[in-house]
Amino acid sequence: MRVRALVAAARSFAAALAAALAGGIALAPTAGAQAANAWQYPVGTIGINQQVQSTLAGVALTMRGTPAHFWWFSCTGGQTIQLDVVARWDAYALITDPAGKVVAQDDDSGGDRNARVTYTCPVPGTYRLGVTTRNASGEVGEYRLSVRGTAAAGVAVTPMGVPEPIAGLGPELPGGGAPGSPFNPRNSRPRGLLRQAVSSTGELGDGSYRYNGRPLDAWQYGCEPHREVTVNATSAWDNVLVAFDAAGREVARDDNSGAGRNARLVFQCEERVLVTFGVTAAGDSAGTYSVAAQARSYIPPLAAIPVPRAAAVAGGWCPNAGVPICTDAVSGLRWSRAENGVIPASPFPVGTWPRNGVMQSMSACRGYFQLPGAQPGAWQVLPGKISQGLPGCYVGVNSAEVLVASYEVLVHPTPAPVSDPLNAAKLVVARGGMLPPRAIVAGNGESAQFVCVAAMAGDGAHPGRIAADGRGCVVAWAGKEVVVTAEYQVLARP
């Protein structure tokens, strides 16, 4: 009877987990807890044939009230991977696809209470590898996550066995690391999650984790793309702030940039990820302190460029190989080059807006952008909106509504459909930063870009862009970049 009960419980957990992410709905944090949605804030990135180790503890990151970690993983279409989670506690592993749906999960296939998942990625994109437990009140702690894989579909994966310790972290050291050792995320359990403009307090003492021979308290912060966070530490003694990446490497520090002997650290977030900030001491004195984080948007130095005449942009979407039109092989939709407000024949309508009191259709367009000093061909191709009477393609970027004079417009397949304009593609409702299945890739930025459409406060439904990063539909509107998460539509294959 106990075996049957355990099997039933495991099936119940798996069903609840699948239901939680079914349809692209993100997992919600526990009500009332000082917790962040674990799926929305991956703790780092892991690559093929790599391994990481970390500690799952506390309530800083949860999934339906259960501690959880997610890791970014870039998978190619047809690539087979094997995910192993090794721990002293009952670990549970899962994989979500770029749209946020659970596509694979496992409890104990790795032997003992370890998890092992084998999965073949059907489409390229950024997947998330999750580590959790199916018992919300059960034991959690240190774990090792490893990924092994092949580059072609149908090729068997060779098991890795138990991962070896990661170089640089070493064995577990009671009471913290030895003087001069690297930051060890396994031993320094975070005191909590830093909230926007909320002061948190702590105390450094003899029992604190030690980093470079000094006591250190670790605090975590959920970074958002294109956000600049300023962390301030305040104390009666000379404090120091240190920032660490997911592997425990020190990436920034400050001693006295704040008032008096207080530290102030300014950190720019390039992706949605969890960052660890450490409060430590400059000298022998330590004690109570307070720490607070304040974030604001910042503008990355991204500038629009003319549509290249011989584009070779990687990313799996239709490349513009030196001709004015390129075609999505499945839907037949085409991107046609234009300039200065001109709209090519047979534009594909995806939105509307009231121009001079008359509702007018809007089409998807895309502009090419480049970072200063980037290598030739290192473009970002970002979708936006265009309509008759507008001077060009408007794209939400750099926290602003950017007008692009040289662009491409999404047009009907050839021959154009006679009656049903959506027989080549359809708009699918989505929420919470999720992507529907079969979304049509329309560009590339920090990740693949897709066309979305969102309602704009009585001003119609405007096309924009969305990526598989959970941020939402980004629309250029009223001179700024507006992000819609409540409800929007995404262009997908029928």
pLDDT in tens, 15-58: 444 444 433 323 322 222 344 567 777 777 788 888 777 777 65
Domain end point (choices 297, 317, 338): 297
Residues 210 and 188: their CA atoms lie apart, in Å, by 8
Does one domain contain both 284 and 327?
Answer: no
Residues 256 and 233: their CA atoms lie apart, in Å, by 10
Does one domain contain both 75 and 89?
Answer: yes
Does one domain contain both 225 and 326?
Answer: no
Give domain status of residue 90, yes or no. yes
Does one domain contain both 237 and 285?
Answer: yes
Average pLDDT estimate for 245-265: 86
More confident residue, 485 or 49: 485
CA distances from 208 to 241, 246, 291, 345 (A): 15, 20, 16, 68
Q: Which residues pair with 284 in a beta bridge?
A: none
**pLDDT value at position 317?**
39
Does one domain contain both 250 and 319?
Answer: no
**pLDDT value at position 461?**
93
Give domain status of residue 24, yes or no. yes
Q: Which two tokens mark 23? A: 């349809």
Residue type at position 493: R
In this predicted model, what pLDDT tens digit does every residue of 108-143 receive, in sequence order?
A: 888 777 899 999 988 888 888 999 887 766 677 888
What band does 158 get if pLDDT is binned at 50, 70 and 90?
A: very low
Mean pLDDT of the chain: 74
**pLDDT value at position 70?**
86
Does one domain contain both 341 and 487?
Answer: yes
Does one domain contain both 290 and 347?
Answer: no
Give domain status of residue 158, yes or no. no
Residues 413 and 332: their CA atoms lie apart, in Å, by 5
**pLDDT value at position 151?**
52
CATH of the domain at 83: 2.60.120.380
Does one domain contain both 87 and 130?
Answer: yes
**pLDDT value at position 378?**
67
Is 80 exceeded by the pLDDT of residue 228? yes
Does one domain contain both 131 and 245?
Answer: no
What band does 328 get if pLDDT is binned at 50, 70 and 90?
A: low
Give domain status of residue 187, yes or no. no
Is 90 exceeded by the pLDDT of residue 398? no
Residues 404 and 380: their CA atoms lie apart, in Å, by 13
- Region for 422 from its dihedrals, namely left if φ exceeds 0, alpha if ψ lies in -120 to 50, beta otherwise: alpha
Q: Which of 45-59, 60-74, 149-163, 386-400 has the lowest mean pLDDT?
A: 149-163
Is 50 exceeded by the pLDDT of residue 90? yes
Domain end point (choices 258, 275, 297): 297
**pLDDT value at position 43?**
74
In this predicted model, what pLDDT tens digit does every residue of 405-421 receive, in sequence order?
A: 888 899 887 654 443 44
In this predicted model, what pLDDT tens digit does every residue of 291-302 receive, in sequence order?
A: 999 887 665 555
Does one domain contain both 349 and 285?
Answer: no
In this predicted model, what pLDDT tens digit does every residue of 464-483 receive, in sequence order?
A: 999 877 788 999 998 888 99
**pLDDT value at position 417?**
45
Domain end point (choices 297, 313, 336): 297
Residue type at position 266: V
The residues near 259 (Cβ < 8 Å, ≥ 6 apart) are: 234
Is 60 exceeded by the pLDDT of residue 156? no
Give domain status of residue 155, yes or no. no
Is 90 exceeded by the pLDDT of residue 162? no
Is 80 exceeded by the pLDDT of residue 187? no
Average pLDDT estimate for 385-402: 89
Contact 352, 388 (CB under 8 A): no
**pLDDT value at position 451?**
93
Compute the C-alpha angle 11/433/131, nearest 5°. 40
Q: Taking the mean position of all CA atoms in its chain, how far away is CA 396?
A: 18
What band does 148 get if pLDDT is binned at 50, 70 and 90?
A: confident
| Beta strand 448-455 pairing with 488-492 | antiparallel
Is 60 exceeded by the pLDDT of residue 177? no
Give domain status of residue 348, yes or no. yes
Number of compact structural domains in the chain? 3
More confident residue, 167 or 372: 372
- Residue 231: burial class (beta carbons within 10 Å; 0-12, 13-18, 19+): buried
Average pLDDT estimate for 460-464: 94
First to last CA, the chain: 47
Give domain status of residue 193, yes or no. no
Average pLDDT estimate for 236-260: 87
**pLDDT value at position 376?**
60
Give domain status of residue 128, yes or no. yes
- Which range of residues forms the domain containing residue 54? 2-149
Instruction: State the DSSP code for 92.
Output: E
**pLDDT value at position 454?**
94
More confident residue, 12 or 392: 392
Average pLDDT estimate for 197-223: 84
What band does 361 get if pLDDT is binned at 50, 70 and 90?
A: very high
Gyration radius of the chain's alpha carbons: 24
More confident residue, 93 or 158: 93
Does one domain contain both 205 and 251?
Answer: yes
More confident residue, 172 or 348: 348
**pLDDT value at position 2?**
29
Is 70 exceeded by the pLDDT of residue 323? no
Contact 384, 466 (CB under 8 A): no
What band does 394 get if pLDDT is binned at 50, 70 and 90?
A: very high
Is 70 exceeded by the pLDDT of residue 13? no
Does one domain contain both 288 and 355?
Answer: no
**pLDDT value at position 153?**
45
Q: Taking the mean position of all CA atoms in its chain, how far away is CA 457?
A: 27
**pLDDT value at position 357?**
79
**pLDDT value at position 302?**
58
Q: Which residues pair with 368 in a beta bridge?
A: 305, 381
pTM for this predicted structure: 0.44
Is 70 exceeded by the pLDDT of residue 12? no
Q: Which of 91-95, 204-208, 283-287, 490-494 has the lowest mean pLDDT?
A: 204-208
Residue listed under structure tokens 């003992």: 112
Mean pLDDT comparison of 119-128, 143-152, 162-171, 178-187, highest-scoring range:
119-128
